[in-house]
Structure 1
Amino acid sequence: MSSETVDIQTTSGTFEIVLPVRWGDMDALSHVNNAAYFRYFEEARVRLVMALGLGPGHDRNWLLAHASCDFLKPLLYPADIVVGFKLLRVGRSSIEFDCWIADAQDTQILHARGRNILVCADGATGRSVPWTDADRQVLSRYFSV
């Protein structure tokens, strides 16, 4: 099992991080609580935005417009997981990702799969704003845009 250090990987158009499953993520049934899966996706989204250099300090925000998760296989403590994002679509002001949680020891074992849609919004008004050419260039560092 890894330490609290997060490993970021980018391969073949995906963004992946390795996270440890924490003891406190479990529920009374001794498996990871369903809400924790959404926190794992959240952590990966934040790391992605930070890696893209589009995090805090900009005049625009990335707002979560949609999050879904299909729970495929129970996740047990202790474990390390890989949380991945693959770009599906870039709209005028939105971006859609396929996301997954896999076992870090065997990434063919999927524990969950979902979708996330983010919207680029003006920091002052909260209204959606289009992606800029600069945004698309930054995205192309990790994904095919």
Structure 2
Amino acid sequence: MSLDPSATPPPSGTFDTLIDVRWGDLDALNHVNNAIYFRYFEEARVHLYAAIDMDFASGRVGLLAHASCDFLRPLLYPARIVVGLKLLRLGRSSLELDTRIERADEPGEAYARGRNVLVCADGATGRPTPWTEADRRALARCFSV
């Protein structure tokens, strides 16, 4: 991932998304299936894309280049969770996010942590395309403290 040397440091806030754990998210052991954590991160990214107006209509899309997750504590039903995305690096056409999942009623208690790397791409070709100044301003708003 190449970094833009002229870019200012990313804001230090988080972009939070509230999600209700569904009964269907559970596995045979009665806790949230590990694969579902990645869906929760995906849902938060979709909300982020909407907040910065990135969709097929704009001709650009966000492609997931990397996803990782450390499962720290089992999530049980029922629960409302907060999926937090923190901007770590903003490159020419990519960004890196620190991800976390907490229960809404237990702020500060991480149930999962991970990393996502996203690439801004042309929707028709899939080739990387630089973030625009409007994108950078929108990202700054989403991650402001």
The bucket for the TM-score relative to the shorter chain is 0.7 to 0.9
Identity of aligned residues (%): 65
CA contact (8 A) 2:94 2:117 kept: yes
Shift of 1:143: 2.3
Shift of 1:15: 0.5
Structure 2 portions without partners, runs of 5+: 1-11
Q: What is aligned with 1:9? A: none
Map residues 93-132 of structure 1 onto 2, 5 A cutoff. 93-132=93-132
Q: CA separation in 1, counterparts of 2:61 and 2:51?
A: 15
Read off the aligned partner of 1:94 and give its amino acid letter: S
Read off the aligned partner of 2:40 and give its amino acid letter: Y
Q: CA separation in 2, counterparts of 1:78 and 1:143?
A: 29
TM-score (ref. length: structure 2): 0.88
Matching of residue 30 in structure 1 with residue 36 in structure 2: no
Read off the aligned partner of 1:50 and give its amino acid letter: A
| Large movers: runs of 4+ above 6 Å | none
Question: RMSD value over aligned CA atoms?
Answer: 1.1
Give the number of equivalent residue pairs. 133
Give the SS at the match of 1:73.
Answer: coil
**Deviation per CA, 1:66-110, whole angstroms, max 9, x where unpaired?**
000000000001111100001000011101100100011011211
Read off the aligned partner of 2:66 and give its amino acid letter: H
